[in-house]
Structure 1
């Protein structure tokens, strides 16, 4: 016989007081809120370079999932894969074999972006300029070219002039180093988005990255600001992750998003299927987190230079 003080099962047959039930209720609440959310389109295209000189911080994952989330919300989004590994191209399901027209042709041969851009199978609103293996040699080839730091910026400007449907957001995925590819990305963008993983040494190298961004801003692109910091690989069960969140929010109170991206099997699995987590499992915790982060970015709007 059950004790009168025992928890009663919820109508669905589970105990509403258990951690699992609370998690299910929270996910349901978040799904409903996202379904009701209407995001404003920017008055001009927002160009964000996603950068961190440390590898393994979720940079490419962040790029493609924010782009996919905004595309799902009705934005027209362009992803430029500027990493020779081509992982963003893979995650978006676009062709990027060695003979595929790519961002290499844009940078080195001055091909129009319209000649190399591909739609992602996930959404007609989600476009990608792929990277191929040829991009690995582009750093050396750029050295001798005229206006070598400005080539991506010029190509994007020309694309905006020619494109039939206006672009709302551009995300540029960088390699984890400061070479001419990353400098091109900084010069082309007006905003920098920095993913920071909630792990030991999370802030290592960040001051150098910020100094480099300031240097580019001073000499090559006075519009450039660090507008957004996104905390990734968060595990609420560890004191370390919570300490990193506290430290980063203390140092960068204006730039850090409220949304936290959790460690997630679904996020890790999605690229192997040529998908973002938003396309792979829309209602998973990882997908909801990226969709919430994308909503924050859209609702905050583009910062003025004095805001950062």
Structure 2
């Protein structure tokens, strides 16, 4: 099982959009996947289920990381109905916010790691949608993960935010908190190719981070929001921008899965 945390330092960069785009690509390509909604806002839960969760959620999993709790929390998504592969979710909860302290003990940081070790369900890929901060919940996610995928938009604060997020992943591995963790790279999202400011910021990110800036850059397209607003997989969206978006997320998923070979 390959675990990837999708994280950012600030909100509004489309972190959940990237998570759901990758989940749609995984379903389309026959990759058995689990999404863990670790963001107390629960946007991935709404996108995948079409409504807030009513059963066992991530807050209960973290409070009691036992096999029974984890297995009860795993919910099949409507996206996967009739599909050859699984796409399940452990739903988000605003109650998980109480665990988002910036100063957790080593035992607390390993709660998600311990929970996933006790599950009985098997997956090819686990995507963890982290809160837009580097506090306790994101640290839990990184501790359990093989890769950290940082999402940024081409804006003024992007360089500082991306640098801090990538450095945290490296520090957690070096300190032994996340021994398997490697930074996968930086996804630039919501890019507007006609914007001079976005062109400048993208060039700046590439100058500073080099190959860590992943291809493709995800352009800002209305289809992504429309698909998510309708709680349908991007790969079933029939709008004008659907094909380009699905090609981009298929390519991004290939980069994610290929990174397993660099362990």
Please indicate the TM-score interval, normalised by the length of the shorter structure: 0.7 to 0.9
Moved over 4 A (4+): none
Q: Is residue 2:55 matched to residue 1:100?
A: yes
Give the corresponding residue for 1:303: 262
Give the corresponding residue for 1:264: 221
How far apart in 2 are the matches of 1:227 and 1:143?
A: 24
How far apart in 2 are the matches of 1:262 and 1:229?
A: 14
TM-fit CA distance, 1:122:
1.1
The match for 1:110 among 65, 77, 81 is 65
The match for 1:236 among 187, 193, 212 is 193
Which deviations, in whole Å up to 9, do the C-alpha atoms of 1:160-219 show, x marking residues without a partner? xx22xx311111111112222111001000100011212333213233223322332222
State the Cα RMSD in Å: 2.2
Which deviations, in whole Å up to 9, do the C-alpha atoms of 1:83-110 show, x marking residues without a partner? 000001111126534x421011110022
Structure 1 counterpart SS, 2:200: helix
Give the corresponding residue for 1:132: 93
Give the corresponding residue for 1:154: 114
How far apart in 1 are the matches of 2:86 and 2:255?
A: 19
Q: Is residue 2:250 matched to residue 1:291?
A: yes
- Greater helix proportion: 2
* Contact 1:100/1:132 (<8 A) preserved: no
TM-score (norm 1): 0.75
* Contact 1:94/1:130 (<8 A) preserved: no
Q: Unpaired segments of 5 or more residues in structure 2?
A: none
Q: Is residue 2:176 matched to residue 1:217?
A: no
The match for 2:37 among 64, 81, 98 is 81
* Contact 2:65/2:114 (<8 A) preserved: no
* Contact 1:94/1:118 (<8 A) preserved: no
Structure 2 counterpart SS, 1:257: coil
Q: How many residues align?
A: 253
1:179–1:275 distance in 2 versus 1, CA, 3 Å: same
1:295–1:301 distance in 2 versus 1, CA, 3 Å: same
How far apart in 2 are the matches of 1:175 and 1:187?
A: 15
Q: Is residue 2:137 matched to residue 1:181?
A: yes
TM-score (norm 2): 0.87
* Contact 1:227/1:303 (<8 A) preserved: no
1:291–1:281 distance in 2 versus 1, CA, 3 Å: farther
How far apart in 2 are the matches of 1:302 and 1:95?
A: 37
1:200–1:224 distance in 2 versus 1, CA, 3 Å: same
TM-fit CA distance, 1:247:
2.3
Structure 1 counterpart SS, 2:108: coil
* Contact 1:267/1:276 (<8 A) preserved: no
Larger Rg: 1
Q: Unpaired segments of 5 or more residues in structure 1?
A: 1-44
